[in-house]
Structure 1
Amino acid sequence: MLGRIGKGLNCFSPANDNSFNRFVLTKKIQDEILPYVSKVTICDRPSTNHSGLTQYNYDDNRDGIRQRRVSVARQFDLTLSDAPFDRRFVIELAKEVEKTHQMPGQCAEMASITAVKLKDIAAQTGLFVYTLQLPDYNHTITLLSETPYRSNEWINWAKEFNSTSIIVDLWQGALSQNKPDALVSPANKNTYTRTSPRAIVQCKVWGGFPSRHMV
């Protein structure tokens, strides 16, 4: 039996069926997430000031985005601080963003959408899908990994770099549409993670299946 992602796409190496074909897997992820690059509206665009520091320019959606987060968190009796660590919140937030015209959001919304859309890939490969917070960058991204983590656990980048781990960053992908690697890239080559920054698991959205092998 071989793990398959979609019709005719074998994501495991013939030499070792526990070794992912990263190219095929990356292509499938791109096919799944790329359509959202043109659908979403990034509401916090970064710029560099005269001192070389990054500042964010917010559009008129800022208050609405916060209120949407508050509303979704209240559905599950969560505070805004606790909500990102709750799988129910992540999934429901993604649904609410999709219902909104032009899908406005910040990196948290983009990571939630990405994680939810990777459900089938997670099921077919057995990879874990996590939302991660990078505190030194104040940024949230999505990680596909073979490693089991718990919420609030720090990422072991040495382990991720030695495996098939992939970073998906819809926020950066939408801002840098002329750079395909900004959307999907190996963890050891991603602009944010290649230097092994502090990264904490917010939520395991999918994964933990008994086997990666699909008929």
Structure 2
Amino acid sequence: MPESKKPQGLLRNSFNFPAFSGLPSEPEDEIDLKYYNLNLCGFEPSQHWCFLGEIVDSIGLVRVLLRVKDKDGRVVTVGLYTDDRGKVLAPQIKKGHTVAILYGEQHGFLDMTVNIRVEDASNIKIIPCSLEQLLKASDDLVVLRKGQPRHCGSCGNGENASYNTHLRLCSRCRYASYCGEDCQKKAWMDGHKADCKALVEVQWFTAKNWETFHDWFSF
């Protein structure tokens, strides 16, 4: 019997959540009709997209420069050209955390490199979990939303109305279930502490329609 495929969550979508190689060039250089519509007023996005990369280093004294690894494993530089040069974000920047950049584009810098330039502070967010954790949470959310019978996230016992066995949801992510306080505490220490954080972050993305552009998203 063939092995069933693992569910693919929203963040695996390579169009709305592309790796660096899939990002459009800046419209001033070349209009990518995959991402932009050209009209009488100029151009505007046809859909929404967001670049995700895991922070591997941060450099820069005058402005914050991030070195991040994308979904393909490629390391690129993100230059923060916001009004404060990234200083507000600095306390949140840690290796292993994920940076999310709305409407990221490939930008040609004066040193002849092509990386990412961020000018609008509302388009960037530091997510306090790894890229792998974030992608896994996106996949897990597909399964959790299918409405299948719930089971305790620690001992595996299922909910059974006949025996008055009711599970309670994690108050933070509202998806993980537990049959009691002891199981909830054990699951938290066994890994749900990290999973919970990622599930909460993913829900911001899944609550939005990425396929049709009506107005700009912002963090």
Higher relative CO (CA 8 A, sep ≥ 6), structure 1 or 2?
1
Which structure's residues are more often helix, by fraction? 1
Same-fold call, TM cutoff 0.5: no
Greater gyration radius: 2
TM-score (normalizing by structure 2) = 0.25
